[in-house]
Each structure stands twice: as C-alpha cells, then as structure tokens.
Structure 1
Amino acid sequence: YSVLGGKVVINAELSDARRNDVVWADRVIGTVDDLLQMESQLIHQLTDASTQALMSCTIRRAMVLPVPHLDSNALLLGGIAMMHRSTARDLDRSRELLDAVTNRHARVATPWAWMAKWHILNVIQGRSADAPTEFRQAIDIADRALDLEPHSSLALAIKGHLLCHLGVDLDKSRDLLLMATEVNPNDHNAWLYAGFWSTMWGDSGDAVRESERALDLSPLDPQRFFIEMLVAHSYLVANDLSKAINMCHQSLRRNRYYLATLRVLMTAQYEVGQVEDARQTLGQLLALQPDLSVSKFLSYGGQSKIRQRAADAMAGLGLPR
C-alpha cells in the first residue's frame, strides 16, 4: 500500500498457495480517515470483493471437478453455495457434494445439518413431489446432526425451521429456534429462522426485529439474497409493503431467479395495488415454474396466514387453483 496525503492506495491479492493461482486481485483507493473507522467502507469493499471471489472460485471448482478431487472444505462450501442457486442442475450437484462430505465425515454435525437444509430448499424451489414427506425426511437428518452435536446452533435452527414449515409442533419449533439464538447469539441462521417463525406464526414486530438482526449479523454473507428474501417476508407480514418490495428488489439484484423472492414481491405488489407489476412478476414465476398452481403452492407447508395471502394474490391474478 501507499499513502499520498490523505489518500491510501491498496494493492490487494488473494492467492491459492496449493495451486499457485491468483484467485483475486484489485487496486482500491480510499481515505486514511475512512481506514481508521470502525465501519470502514474500504475494508468492507476489500472483504466483500475477496469473499465473493473466493466463493466464486470454490463454486467453479465444485461444478467441474470430480468429487474425489475436491477437499472436504470445497465439498461443503460448494454444497452450501449451490443449494442456494436456482437451477435443478445446481440443486442436484449440491446434493451430490453434500452426500460426499457426509460420507467422509459421518460423525460431524455440520454437513448433516446442511443436508437437512437442502431438503427445505428443494421443497420451496418447487421440486418436491411430496413436500410433507420430504420435510419429515429432513427432520430425521436434522435429528442425526443433533445426536452428534446436541448444542449445534445450526442444527437446532434448521430443525426448528423444518417444524415451522410443516406447521406442526409449533411450540417445539419456537423453543428450538430460541435455544439456537441462546447457544450462539451471533449465528445469523438462528435469528433468521426465528424471524421466519414469527413471520409465519407469531408477532409481526418480532418477525421484523429478528429478521433484521440476522441481516445485521451477515453483511458479507455470499447468500445474502436469501436473508434479504426472508427479511422481505417479515416486512410483508408487518404490512410494510413498500419496504417488502424494496427488499425483494435488492434480493433479486443478487439472484433474480429465486422463486420465494418472486412470490413475496408478487404478493406485496398485488396488495399495494400494483396489479400490472404483480402480473409481470407472476409471469416470471411461471417462466421458472410452469406447473405452478395455487394448490401446488399451498402444498409446500403449513397453512399460515402469510402463505394464504400469497395464494390469494396468485388466485386474484388468474393463476389456476
């Protein structure tokens, strides 16, 4: 780096020493005053860019290399990243990677917890032929993770999230989620799923508070679009429709193909009176999920008020029941 008056110039490089590859390099300019701040924009810029580059490199390798050639870290990170993408191919590859890492580390809780999460996303992306059965299969996997590590905040949060989606044993679901936030108050997944529980079944004020807490804890998360989608859900249940729409647009700029985000956006647009915009959003949904119907959407989980609002919007826009 070099300092020129009040300016600082940083030449940064991220290298993979194992393969002697440069993963990322950049030259950034900022002020010395900014660099000394607790919330330095320059540090955020460097961290965000290097994190995104590292994840992109991991995903590229996970997509093309045979599973035996990938180390366990690449298997897990690739599996997590690809499950949050939008295509059937990505979800299938994610499952393959997670299968491999659970086979290699059968007595480690974290890969099993993420495998349970994979089943949730398989359902909400509209790929499951029997959502309730798949959710119960995922609960068994989450229980396996908890048997291995009873105080895993990730496993506690994911099991609570599964029960929340099913709409059964809601008190136990809430207890698991609150336990996860107590075990690790800095686990954004625990707060995120607690916020989703409040969105589906609880108080709208709690939904917003818990969801925004998750957002604050994960400023550089590569799956930030997913967090923003669930925050938008909380704004929708609080009837802050303009904030829900804005948050959906923010999420879609990171991943414009994510079905759950499009469903929240369509619902908020319809309820605020932006019917033509809602119809266009429904068109995007149908382009990605041609077999979508109101009844198919309602089969994804428990019949909460927020799910019914989305179904009513779909029906109001002419989607077959």
Structure 2
Amino acid sequence: MTQESDPHTISALDDEGLLLRRRRKVVLVVDLVESVSLMQADELGVIKGWQALVAYVTQSILPGNEGRMVKSLGDGLMLEFDEARHATATAFAMHAWMATRSHPLADGHTMNLRAGVHATEVYTDQHDIYGSGVNLAARVATLAGPGQTVVTAATRDLLDDEVDGNFEDLGECWLKHIDQPVRAYRMTPMRKIRDIAFRASAAKAPVMQPTIAVMPFLFHNGDAALSVVGDLIADGVIAQLSKADQLRVISRLSTRVLAQRELGLDDLSTRLGADYVLSGSYYAAGSQILMSAELAHAASGRVIWASRRTAALEDLFMVRCETIDEFATEINAAIFRSELVLISTMPIPTLSSYSLMLGGITLMHRSAHADFVRSREVLEHLVERHQRHPLARAWLAKWYVLCATRGLSTALKDDATRALDQTRRALDSDPANSLALAMEGFVYCHLIKDFDKAANRLDEAVTHNPNEPLAWLFKGMIHAFEAQGPQAQSASERARALSPLDPLAYYYESLSASMAIANGNYEEAIRLANRSLQRNAIHPSTYRALAIAQALSGHVDEAHATVERLVRLDPTYSLTRFKKSYPAADRAPEQFRLLVEALRMAGVKD
C-alpha cells in the first residue's frame, strides 16, 4: 500500500511547496528529571550518561520496537511509533536501563527519566513531526514522577490491561497551555504488577493467588471431527480449577485466541499474566482418548507436573469426568508444592506476594515447629508489604489460634489480643471480607471462648459471601462444640462441597471428623480422619479425632495404636492439655465428658 492510498496518511503541500504527510502516530516524549540541577552538580557525568542512554536506545531498544528517534535535545528525547505497545515498551526499557546500568553522578546524585505517551494525528517530514498532539505528549510527561510513564486516554484505548501493563487512572488533569483537561493514566510494566499495584493504588488490592492459563489441548491424529475435543478437555479442567479459590484461572476465550498464534511459554505468560501454563495433546483411538498434559512454571520454564490419562470419549462430555477431576486435583497440589519449595529456598523479600501467601498457609498447617515459626515470619512480611490487604492479616490471626491450640502459646491473652488486632485491621480495610470475618469468629471461639460473638461473626461471613468455605467449616465447629450434631455435619458437608480441590483438604476433613463425632456418626468420623491422614500424616489433631471415634465405636485396640502415633508426633500431649484447650467444656458438659472418657479409653495419659 502506498502512502497516498493509506487511509491513515494524508499528503499536503505547504506554502513553500514542501511535502507534509499527516499520519496516525504514537508519540513518546522522555526527559531527564531535574536536568538543570544535575548539570550543575556533575556536568560531564550527565553528558556521558545521556550519551550512553541515547546509544542504547538507538542500537538496542528502537530496532526491536519499530520506533524512530525524532529528536535528541541533550536532556530529552522524542520518538514516534506506529503501535502504542511498542512506545510503552520502549519507555519501560529506558527506565529499566537508567535504574540498573547508568553510572552514579558526583555527590550521590542519580539520573531518572519521566515519560509521556500520546496517540495522535501528526504532520511528518523526513526530519521532524509537528502538531498539537506532539505538544500534548510533552505536557503529559510532566505528570510523571521519576521513573514513571504516563499515557493519555487515547493511548490507553490501544493497550490491553494486564497484558501490555498495569494502569492507574489519574483522572482529568489540567496541563499548562492546554485548554481542556486531559484524561491520563500512570502505567507500570505487567511483570511488576504484583509488587507495586497496591502501592500505586491503595484502593486496588494486589493479586494474592497464582494465575494459571489452561491452553486448548492439541489434536494429533484421528477423525477430524474430534478436533474440538481439545477445547472440551480445557473447558473441563478450567471448570474444576475455578472451584479452588486459591487460584486465578484465565478465561478460555483468552487462551484460545493465543493458542492459535503458536506463542512460546514466555510470550504466553507475559500476554496472559500467567504464573503457570498447562498445555497438552491428545490422540484418538476409536472411542478412547489418550491425553498427555504438563504444567510449567512460566518464570523458570520448568515443568513441575506431567501426566498421561486415558478416557472414553463419552465421559468427556459428562458434567463430571473422573479423569478431568484427577487432572485438576493434581495440578492444584503441584502448584502448592512449587510455591512451598520457593518459600523454603528463597529469601522472603524476593518472593512474590502469592508465594508468601500460599507458602505461609501451608507451613502453618505443618507439625514441625520450625515450619510453624517460619509461617509466622512469612505472613508478617506479607502484612508489612501489603498493610491494608485483609487476607494476609486474616491468615496471621489464624496462626495465633493454632499456636494456642497446639500448646505452643506462653501468653494466651496476649495472643488473643494480637489475633483480634489482625482481624480488626483486616475488617477496617474491608468490612465485608468474609475470610476476615470467619477468622475473627475462629478467634472468638478458640481463644476468647465467646461462642455468641463467634457465631455472629460467622453468620456475617456467610451473609456477605454464602460461598466462603472456611466460614461454613468454622460454623460447623461451633455447632459441634454445642453438641448440635446434625447442624455440624451439614455445615461440614457444605464447606467441603464449596472447596473440593482445596490444598488444605486434609484440614477440612480433620475438622469434619470432629463434627461427625458430635453427630454420633463414628464410622464416618473414622473414614474422614483416615482420608485426612492420607493427605497429611503429621497433623496431630486428626489423630485425636480418629482415636476418639475409634474408642467410641468399640475399636479400642485401634484407638490405642492411633494414640501411640499421636504421642510420637506430640510427646507432650495429655488429657490435661486437652481439657485446658477445649473451648466448650462448660457449653456442652456431657459431650465434653464423653470426649475425655474416649481419650482415656484410647490410652491418653493425664
């Protein structure tokens, strides 16, 4: 297409007969912050630093981003692009170079850039660009702070949120010599969204869950009519993974578009903002489908899980497919294991927020004292990083409760105060946060032993969010402590149904075993406790529930064997400790005596 036939290009002759072309361009203006004072402090250092930046821009940044340098003024640059994403990527690259590779100036001064981007119609010739839009780009740059990029709404409309970058709306801004206010946005690179989004905008909570993209499975052979099965498999896995509230799952409408572009893992991760990518393929052999899948950690490219499964074609069309369920369960567990490895091997300040969250939760539920202590360090660092985020504080409150129930607390009243301080701060940030409300109910139940307040908080939690599984789980425990067996078991079933892929499924099953005991359903309690121990064989509370259920159902010898395993894990466990920590001794005295007698029958010493 010639320039004259391009609908975005208009040619005109000025009075001197010079040819000007009007084109749609994206203009990037960058200037050096406090250039005058820097020159006064270290003139030669600034000149050398600026020359090095210009050389890097022309040789390394612009070629890959299809840009053209229009002007270099000694303390500012003007560049033009056809694509907005290339302009903003160039700005980010320049900021990164200045932050990591520029040499410090005399007396500790540093060089910083600020950038403005505007998409506009401009007049161009072989040397320069002209027009009011060019001036506007320069004015927009004045809205940016050191190391920042600000874009106009016209530019923002050409970019994809959480693909090209992260945006903070600055509203309508008045600029010098511009008659009308200009809508502007501060923009940050996508890869930094998890660490800086909260600091950039206190109203927007940071991402606290890892994100997974499930790509359509690729078809290798067989009837062409079966080529849609790859989408069917992906849909099933997405539907199951979406039930785990610890994960963020990318919509298939997004992954399907990118699957058709044959992008590499790094490009998929960048464009989708995914921390993990699931991909796979399948073969058709008659009515059987052989599926291969692998889960990769996007940042490292490391495959953290892989599996092969065979399923009947008709099963894949069912609402619940056992093979798809197995895929989803194993994927969820693999992500948790991956994050736990990071917690164990990397220094806390370098970890992402979701790694801290998942690792802290997992370590909190381990029996090893060192792991439990580490979980507090992790959660406290997360609270410090995101002081107004309710989730981190809610989980830290739970840590104090578990510290008491495990017999590790040396000051119960102080721990209760610390726990309530965390939940109240969480609710100050988000009064309707169902997890924070549930945890506050948990604190009132176990540490304060105020069952009325506990029940009120848990009722509030399920009112704000009827699908909060921990609120239903803790409600079930309140019913169990008050000897309301049927209500307890009903709440436990609802909690487990709401979070069927929960990485802490053993914890749900462990507490559900206690609720089944309150309902007199001892065989069900034994089944739940054994299944919980299959998932986590080092959780002492589960052995206690199992021993009680075995003793009450007449399996006394098995109960003794269970207690022996309990004492090996927790040598200080005793009836005295159980009596002291049990929160409802006065609330349901007959049930309390029954539990104490069952533990004595099972061999627990005073």
Q: Aligning the two structures, in what range does the TM-score lie when normalised by the shorter sequence?
A: over 0.9
Cα gap change, 1:230 to 1:156, in 2 (>3 Å): same
For residue 271 of structure 1, the aligned residue among 547, 552, 557 is 552
2:599 is aligned to 314
User: Which range moves more in the overlay, 2-11 or 45-54?
Assistant: 2-11
Cα gap change, 1:194 to 1:302, in 2 (>3 Å): same
Query: Which letter maps to 1:14?
Result: L
The two structures have a TM-score, normalised by structure 2, of 0.51
Checking the alignment, whether the CA contact within 8 Å between 2:394 and 2:435 is kept in structure 1 is: yes
Q: Is it true that 1:5 corresponds to 2:286 in the alignment?
A: yes
Checking the alignment, whether the CA contact within 8 Å between 1:124 and 1:260 is kept in structure 2 is: no
Cα gap change, 1:239 to 1:57, in 2 (>3 Å): same
5 Å-filtered alignment, 1:175-254, equals 175-201=456-482, 203-254=484-535
Q: Give the superposition deviation at 1:167.
A: 6.0
The two structures have a TM-score, normalised by structure 1, of 0.95
Checking the alignment, whether the CA contact within 8 Å between 1:63 and 1:93 is kept in structure 2 is: no
For residue 281 of structure 1, the aligned residue among 562, 582, 590 is 562
Checking the alignment, whether the CA contact within 8 Å between 1:157 and 1:176 is kept in structure 2 is: yes
Q: Give the superposition deviation at 1:11.
A: 1.7
2:334 is aligned to 53
3-state secondary structure, aligned to 1:8: strand
Alpha-carbon distance between aligned partners in 1 of 2:483 and 2:434, rounded to the nearest angstrom: 21
Checking the alignment, whether the CA contact within 8 Å between 1:126 and 1:289 is kept in structure 2 is: no
Cα gap change, 1:318 to 1:30, in 2 (>3 Å): closer
For residue 314 of structure 2, the aligned residue among 33, 37, 40 is 33
Checking the alignment, whether the CA contact within 8 Å between 1:167 and 1:303 is kept in structure 2 is: no
User: Which range moves more in the overlay, 19-28 or 257-266?
Assistant: 19-28
Q: Give the superposition deviation at 1:201.
A: 1.9
Checking the alignment, whether the CA contact within 8 Å between 2:304 and 2:334 is kept in structure 1 is: yes
Q: Is it true that 1:71 corresponds to 2:71 in the alignment?
A: no
Higher helix share: 1
For residue 397 of structure 2, the aligned residue among 113, 116, 134 is 116
Higher strand share: 2
- How many residue pairs get aligned? The number is 321
Alpha-carbon distance between aligned partners in 1 of 2:550 and 2:483, rounded to the nearest angstrom: 23
3-state secondary structure, aligned to 2:291: strand
Alpha-carbon distance between aligned partners in 1 of 2:438 and 2:477, rounded to the nearest angstrom: 11
Where structure 1 has 5 or more consecutive residues not aligned to the other structure, the ranges are none
For residue 538 of structure 2, the aligned residue among 252, 257, 263 is 257
Query: Which letter maps to 2:596?
Result: A
Query: Which letter maps to 2:490?
Result: R
Query: Which letter maps to 1:75?
Result: L
Residues 105-134 of structure 1: CA distance to partner in whole angstroms, max 9, x if unpaired?
A: 011000000001111222233322344542
Cα gap change, 1:136 to 1:13, in 2 (>3 Å): same
Query: Which letter maps to 2:549?
Result: A
Cα gap change, 1:274 to 1:130, in 2 (>3 Å): farther
Alpha-carbon distance between aligned partners in 2 of 1:254 and 1:225, rounded to the nearest angstrom: 6
User: Which range moves more in the overlay, 97-106 or 138-147?
Assistant: 138-147
Residues 30-65 of structure 1: CA distance to partner in whole angstroms, max 9, x if unpaired?
A: 111111111111211111111111111111111111
Cα gap change, 1:85 to 1:318, in 2 (>3 Å): closer
Checking the alignment, whether the CA contact within 8 Å between 2:563 and 2:603 is kept in structure 1 is: no
For residue 149 of structure 1, the aligned residue among 425, 430, 442 is 430
Query: Which letter maps to 1:315?
Result: R
3-state secondary structure, aligned to 2:318: coil
Alpha-carbon distance between aligned partners in 1 of 2:486 and 2:402, rounded to the nearest angstrom: 26
Alpha-carbon distance between aligned partners in 2 of 1:313 and 1:139, rounded to the nearest angstrom: 33
Q: Is it true that 1:87 corresponds to 2:368 in the alignment?
A: yes
Alpha-carbon distance between aligned partners in 1 of 2:599 and 2:449, rounded to the nearest angstrom: 25
Q: Give the superposition deviation at 1:317.
A: 4.3
